[in-house]
Amino acid sequence: MRWTCTAAAISALIVICCSTPALANPIYSPGFVWDRQADWTPGTPGIPPVGNPDDDALGSPVWSYEYQANVPRAADLDTTDGVTPWYQRPTTGLLNWFQEAPPTQPAWGTGPMVRQDYMWTVSGGGSGTTVTYTPVVRWQNPLLVPAVVRLDGSFAAKVTDGNPQHAGEGDIDFAIARVPAGGGTPEPIYTWYQRNVQKGNNEFSVSLPSPLTVSVDPGDSIIWTVISKPAYGDISTMASVTDDFTITLQSPGHKPINYITGETLDGGFSAGQLAISDTCSVYIDAPIEETHEGATMSLTATLARDDSAGGLAKGIFDAGTLTITDAGGQDILVAALDSLVLSELSPGANILAGEGLLTATGGYYADSFADGVQLVQISFSIPGGLDDFAADFTAVSNLTVSPIPEPASLLLLAGGVVALLRRRR
């Protein structure tokens, strides 16, 4: 089959992409919420930890429960002494699942402990130079692109435990920080402290400031953690934080993309309606390749006018949509078709080609197609020929959408070998 120069270039790319499939990545749309209480899944005792990290609602292992050992007591939020704050220090490792954790509720860890809505820290006694353990809750950005997230919620902190051998007063320091991917110094997002807190029921409830938005790159993480120490002396102390935080995706950043393609899609033309829709494997060619098995690609358009003449078929279409959805129902790309022209290239060529206008309106990759008016091109091979749009036909086709830079547009190609079986009314 012969193509125009543009179509040939895209067709060649399709061959390459089909030879290097990649695993699917979950589609996170703006408004998606990560909630560690809702995402919480009990673990299983074992080394290494079983169930830590924990998954979010889409199956990505975003939550990890970690600890720091032997942190200096002076590593609090007061940096005038030159000591690096505890939250800017590396963690020692992942907490193990402790089935018999008090008070009768299993948790990650024993010394530092993280439960579904709660964490505690304990500072050692004796020499009084180190905090024995500090807990760290970590959320790691699962998106493959930069994003903006919003933190909401509150926490309650107190010096806890009825053990008379523990200090009656303690200091509590709490921090939320962004940790760059691959290392780097954690950057404070929000910090809070309270000094000389009486043990017992003296609890401090704190709401996060709103809005509290954070920009995160792929692989970045957000941690929250607490440290405590006795207000005086060398007696050990314990502090707890009950946390109720959510992380909401505000907007994923621009996602560089070359094209999105699906193959062997059933469709056709009937009663004035062009419709192509089928379940397929959708491949996304981008810096990090993706393949979404069981996805759906659909294209619809309404015939506004049949301008066929002299044995050449030509149809003017409008009022259509393009939708690409993954197997879980998340929209990859949604676009409104404003106009489309399909015409036979030459007498006897048996090829319908077209172009039109299409505007991205939604979906995870919408921003990749968001600049300016978008162009659509379609090509069909018709073995039996076509004189006009008075005839119905069915089709098996390949569809590719590709942004065209400056202005960004959609190049839609029904490529490969397309079998159209003509059906006369």
Separation CA 7–CA 5 (nearest Å) = 6
How does pLDDT run across 265-323, given as a tens digit for each residue?
A: 888 889 999 998 999 999 988 877 889 999 999 999 999 999 999 888 899 999 999 99
Write the single-letter amino acid at 234.
D
Query: Pick the residue with more confidence: 91 or 120?
Result: 91
Strands 237-252 and 204-207: unpaired
Q: Classify 277 in phi/psi space as left (phi over 0), alpha (psi -120 to 50) or beta.
A: beta
User: Any idea which of 209-213, 326-330, 340-344, 366-370 has the lowest mean pLDDT?
Assistant: 366-370
The whole model's pTM is what?
A: 0.68
Given a contact cutoff of 8 angstroms between Cβ atoms, the answer to whether 108 and 96 are in contact is yes
pLDDT of 166 reads 54
Whether residue 24 is predicted with pLDDT greater than 80 in this model: the reply is: no
Question: Residue 292 in contact with residue 284, Cβ under 8 Å?
Answer: yes
Residue for token digits 């379940």? 279
End-to-end CA distance of the chain: 28
Question: What is the pLDDT at residue 371?
Answer: 59
Neighbours of 48 (CB within 10 A): 8
DSSP letter string over 95-138? PPEETT-TTT--EE-SSSEEETTEEEEEE--TT--EEEEEEEEE
High-pLDDT (> 70) share of the chain, %: 78
Q: pLDDT digit string (tens) for 82-93? A: 999 999 999 999
Residue 95, SS3? coil
Q: Which candidate, 296, 328, 329, 315, places its Cα nearest to that of 399? A: 296
Structure tokens, 187: 């950057």
CB 36, CB 43: distance < 8 Å: no
Q: Which residue has the higher pLDDT, 415 or 94?
A: 94
Instruction: Spell out the domain ranges in the chain.
Output: 5-25+254-423, 33-249
Confidence (pLDDT) at 328? 84
HSE value, Cβ hemisphere, 13 Å, CA-based, for 231: 14
Q: What is the mean pLDDT of residues 98-127?
A: 75
Q: How far apart are CA 17 and CA 264, in angstroms?
A: 15
* Mode of pairing for the β-strands spanning 130-140 and 351-362: unpaired
Mean pLDDT of the residues in the chain: 79
* Helix-, strand-, coil-residue percentages of the chain, each rounded to 5: 5, 55, 40
